[in-house]
Amino acid sequence: MKISLNELSMPVAPLGPESPLPPLAGPGLVTIPVDLSAADPQMARNLAYGRPATLLPYTVQDGYSRNLVDTRVRTAVVENEILRAEFLLDYGGRMWSLRHKPSGRELLHRNPILQPANLALRNAWFAGGVEWNLGTTGHTPMTCAPLHAARVMRPDGVPMLRLWEFERMRELVYQLDIYAPAGSPVLVVHVSITNPNEHEVPIYWWSNIAVPSRDRTRVLAPASEAWHLASDGILRRVPAPEGYETEFEHAADYFYDIVSPFDERPWIAAVDESGAGLVQTSTSRLRGRKLFVWGKHTGGQRWQEWLSPPGHSYLEIQAGLARTQLEHLPMPAGERWTWLETYGLLETTPAVAHGEYELACAHIEESLSPMPDFDLAWVDLPPTERLHRGSGWGALEHRFRSAAGGGITPKLLIENDAPTSFSMSIPTPHMPGTPFDDDTLGRDQVSWLTLLEAGTMPAPAPRLAPSSYQVSPRWRQLLEQASPQNWFTLLHLGVARWHAADRDAAVEAWHQSHGASPNPWALRNLAFAGDDQVERLRTAHAMVPGVRAIAVETIQAMLAAGKPAEALGFIDRLVLNLRSNGRIRLLECRAAIDAGRLDRAARIVDTGIVVDDLREGEDALDDLWFRYHTQRGSTPVPQLPCLYDFRTGAPQ
């Protein structure tokens, strides 16, 4: 077995700059069940537990386009004589390829391009490989971010690839130890999640596995029933699907209800017409399994081609800690959770793979390779050789906890007219396996390190955008105590207060920030809070006319206020690169329809609108098409073109 570094040359759409605006709204990424009558009490509790108020401290990754550029992407490779696995080090450690060497078969959907699209918690996401999702329901905030990597040598002489990072929303440390011992037919992934806090944390994990989808691809899991949440918001317990994508007209996901004795070693497999494919197994902690398909409808097929080139369709099989992806589990303070996952080739005959469902599952169960051993002491083995650098957030957190342990005196905060003391005695756990060294600290951490060490942050020029945010109670406390205060510390204090649902105090801080030095960032946040939206956003835009996010929010506010003509005039004065942006062209067309300027709307509709960051489930394009033709009095209304059909549910 060996571990090596490599580079892939492939077409990539660069991520571009992140939005400077704090995401003050709730995630709003999934259908929230409105009817839980089918759920048992434990599932009902998990469904109601752990939903974050915002995505903070993360920012939104929306600076990409659909222009692909040949790029060299850094990877790490783990291989033995049977398997070769490759991981994208700058993209969340995504396992991009798993090739079975003797047969030459690629077991994963190895997308020939890397094209971000708006499907993740932070917006940018791309299809393909195996994604490691931690945080909250949705594609992880780290999916388009670098992480730390190292080679670790076990006492028995077997090397492991270790990937690790600090997850900022839940303040967890996670690591993957990946290896394929000599002669092993499976790749082994040992996952560890540590809660280094003195309080319980909601936890979410799903390993998201993309596999090729062909006419006879079948997904199998050892369950006769499944949970299904339809677009009507009703959670239903239904018979497990037969596993063929052709069953589904529209996008659908099914969570298999795997029960004893199969829950001791849950598994899920995807096989092709020959009966061969990928099988993923795990130890019992990773109990959930899921099937996701885009469906046969035009909208689902449009999404397939939006994410992968024609001829490269995929579906997803997934494995998670809970029974469904809508749940969070309570992880007690100071605990570490671990489990093993294996990935390898499954070979059966066509008659078995495509025969009676229960018999096919029984055959797969009997053919599974034994689960390998793992010594928990290996989790804390220090890295032998560093291979890649992730973010500096873990190092900053380590510095914070070390300083707090030195006896920082807490200050009383007033919340809802009641004094609350936040303890600053925060443990710095000894985790030698996942070092967060000071040399990883970078630009995004500089202001926060200064706040920690000097008690305040220097105020940049008001038109310079903030690059990062911190919102935990501990960082909020430092912001409350900052001395001297300036527009920058007050801006961040408002964001931390807003995240904590202390909305009036947040608005007060933003007013103080703008009063200390007029700045577009406080104005935008005040507008979001509902205070004179159009005028505040118009003024903010005038200060930073090149910031697309503020321009978009300004137009949206004008349309919401019933001012489409004003929105058109605003759009006409935008700088050229914003004027041609797909999202802004979409809003321009809507404004033209609302203002009765159908000639202007026609020019946009007829030349085509491409919204680079169109959200999964967003109905803006089909709604625009039908509104435009209704206003024109078209009889009958023309069929929605494939270009605009991203509908994932039944057309209304």
Do 132 and 234 lie in a common domain?
Answer: yes
Do 367 and 287 lie in a common domain?
Answer: yes
Inform me whether the pLDDT recorded for 28 exceeds 80.
no
Do 87 and 225 lie in a common domain?
Answer: yes
Is 200 a domain residue?
yes
More confident residue, 34 or 582: 582
Contacts with 366 (C-beta within 8 Å, 6 or more apart), sequence order: none
Say what the pLDDT of residue 41 is.
94
Say what the pLDDT of residue 416 is.
32
Do 403 and 333 lie in a common domain?
Answer: no
Is 385 a domain residue?
no
From 395, 396, 419, 267, select the one nearest 342 (Cα to Cα).
267
The pLDDT tens digits for 632-652 are 998 899 999 999 999 988 665
Split at pLDDT 50, 70, 90, the class of 403 is confident
CA separation for the pair 334, 198 (Å, rounded): 6
At 652, which CATH number? 1.25.40.10
The pLDDT tens digits for 212-221 are 998 899 999 9
Say what the pLDDT of residue 229 is.
84
Least confident of 153-162, 226-235, 312-321: 226-235
Please count the CA atoms within 13 angstroms of the CA of 638 that sit on its side-chain side.
13
Do 400 and 314 lie in a common domain?
Answer: no
Residue after which a domain boundary falls, among 372, 402, 425: 372
Percent of all residues in the chain with a pLDDT value above 90, rounded to a whole number: 88
Say what the pLDDT of residue 492 is.
98
Please check whether residue 137 is in contact with residue 325, taking contact to mean a CB–CB distance below 8 angstroms.
yes
Do 353 and 441 lie in a common domain?
Answer: no
Is 120 a domain residue?
yes
Mean of the per-residue pLDDT values of the chain = 93
Is 633 a domain residue?
yes
Inform me whether the pLDDT recorded for 36 exceeds 90.
no
Mean pLDDT to the nearest integer, 620-626 = 95
Say what the pLDDT of residue 553 is.
98
Do 325 and 399 lie in a common domain?
Answer: no
Say what the pLDDT of residue 262 is.
87
Mean pLDDT to the nearest integer, 335-341 = 97
The pLDDT tens digits for 50-104 are 999 999 999 999 999 999 999 999 999 999 999 999 999 999 999 999 999 999 9
At 147, which CATH number? 2.70.98.10
Residue after which a domain boundary falls, among 372, 404, 427: 372
Three-state DSSP string of 472-539: CHHHHHHHHHCCCCCHHHHHHHHHHHHHCCCHHHHHHHHHHHHHHCCCHHHHHHHHHCCCCHHHHHHH
Inform me whether the pLDDT recorded for 149 exceeds 50.
yes
Q: Which position has the token pair 């690629």?
A: 106
Q: State the Rg of the chain over Cα.
A: 26
Inform me whether the pLDDT recorded for 191 exceeds 50.
yes
Say what the pLDDT of residue 428 is.
59
Say what the pLDDT of residue 420 is.
29
Inform me whether the pLDDT recorded for 253 exceeds 80.
yes
Query: In this structure, which amino acid lies at residue 278?
Result: L
Inform me whether the pLDDT recorded for 222 exceeds 50.
yes
Do 484 and 630 lie in a common domain?
Answer: no
Is 144 a domain residue?
yes
Is 93 a domain residue?
yes
Please give the residue range of the domain that contains residue 474.
392-514
Q: How many domains does the chain have?
A: 3
Q: Which position has the token pair 């949206």?
A: 556
From 282, 272, 446, 244, select the one nearest 369 (Cα to Cα).
282
Query: In this structure, which amino acid lies at residue 570?
Result: F
Residue after which a domain boundary falls, among 372, 403, 436: 372
What's the CA dihedral at 399, 404, 406, 409 to 10 degrees? 150
Inform me whether the pLDDT recorded for 423 exceeds 70.
no
Three-state DSSP string of 202-223: EECEEEEEEEECCCCCEEECCC
What residues does 3 pair with on adjacent strands? 78
From 156, 174, 161, 376, select the one nearest 283 (Cα to Cα).
376
Query: In this structure, which amino acid lies at residue 224?
Result: S
Do 368 and 397 lie in a common domain?
Answer: no
Do 551 and 604 lie in a common domain?
Answer: yes
The pLDDT tens digits for 227-242 are 998 777 889 999 999 9
Do 320 and 368 lie in a common domain?
Answer: yes
CA separation for the pair 156, 375 (Å, rounded): 11
Say what the pLDDT of residue 649 is.
80
Is 557 a domain residue?
yes
Percent of all residues in the chain with a pLDDT value above 70, rounded to a whole number: 95
Say what the pLDDT of residue 405 is.
66
Mean pLDDT to the nearest integer, 115-139 = 96
Is 224 a domain residue?
yes
Least confident of 29-43, 161-175, 590-604: 29-43
From 344, 398, 404, 443, select the one nearest 164 (Cα to Cα).
398
From 118, 11, 156, select the one nearest 70 (Cα to Cα).
11
Split at pLDDT 50, 70, 90, the class of 419 is very low
Do 509 and 550 lie in a common domain?
Answer: no
The pLDDT tens digits for 357-396 are 999 999 999 999 999 989 999 999 999 999 999 999 999 9
Split at pLDDT 50, 70, 90, the class of 425 is very low
Mean pLDDT to the nearest integer, 545-555 = 98
Say what the pLDDT of residue 422 is.
31
